[in-house]
Structure formats: structure tokens, C-alpha cells
Amino acid sequence: MDDSVQFFKVVHKDELTPGEGSLVFAGVKKLAVFLLDGEIFCIQNHCPHAGASLARGTVRGCIVSCPRHDWGFDFTDGSCKTNRRYSVKQYPVKVDDEGWVHVGVPESELL
Ligand code: FES
């Protein structure tokens, strides 16, 4: 099924800090954005284990550890390092010429 992606301007890249997540809003969705070695990544904010905010997790390299039960998620590929049956959804990121970060959300998730 065709599911086109809608991009939202969510934050300026200068507001992102390496080693910290940022909570952003894309329409109705809360997402978590991370800066690593000049590259920006976006995953779902909602931890798939019990719903804590991954944007508030502790970051070491490409792993964000959930603030609630410390499960580790790789924000570069969405994998869970603690329980491999779980993963987090990734969202495409674009940075425009003025440094604004835009994240793409499938329209089916905006309903
Ligand atoms: S809520 Fe994230 S690991 Fe439990």
C-alpha cells in the first residue's frame, strides 16, 4: 500500500547537543532526535517496553538507554540491544539550507 511521507520542520540543528536526545513534535507525533558525529537521527519517542520517553534517555555513542528500565536502543538502526524481539521505528531526516531539521512521518501515522 502506498503510504506517502509528510515532512515536518521540528528543530534547528544548532539546538541539538551530541550525547543528548531532543523531544520534538511532528504533527501529533512525539519523536526523539539525536545528533551523532554531525549526523541526525530520529526514532519514535515512546519506548516499546513500557512507554517511557526515549528522548530523555542516557546516550552513549549510538545507544540511548531508556530512563525507565535502562533498555538500550541503537538510534542509527532502531534495534534494541537488550531484548532483540523489540525495536523502535526510525523516521527519515532532512536538513535544509538554513539548518532546520525536518522529519518525515508516514501519513498513515498522522490519522
Ligand atoms: S519503559 Fe523503556 S525499558 Fe521499560
Q: What percent of the chain has pLDDT over 70?
A: 98
From 45, 46, 54, 71, mutation site for ligand 1 pocket: most ligand atoms within 8 A of C-beta = 71
Q: Which residues line ligand 1 (CB under 6 A)?
A: 47, 49-52, 66, 68-69, 71
Average pLDDT, rounded, for the chain:
96
Give the predicted TM-score (pTM) of the model: 0.96
User: For 14, which DSSP code?
Assistant: G
CATH topology of domain 5-109: Rieske Iron-sulfur Protein (2.102.10)
Say how far apart CA 2 and CA 25 lie, in whole Å: 24
Contacts of 25 (CB under 8 A, 6+ apart): 8, 10, 31
Separation of CA 46 and ligand 1 centre (Å): 9
| pLDDT reading at 39 higher than 90 | yes
List, edge to edge, every strand of the sheet that includes 90-91: 21-26, 29-36, 39-44, 90-91
Domain boundaries, the chain: 5-109
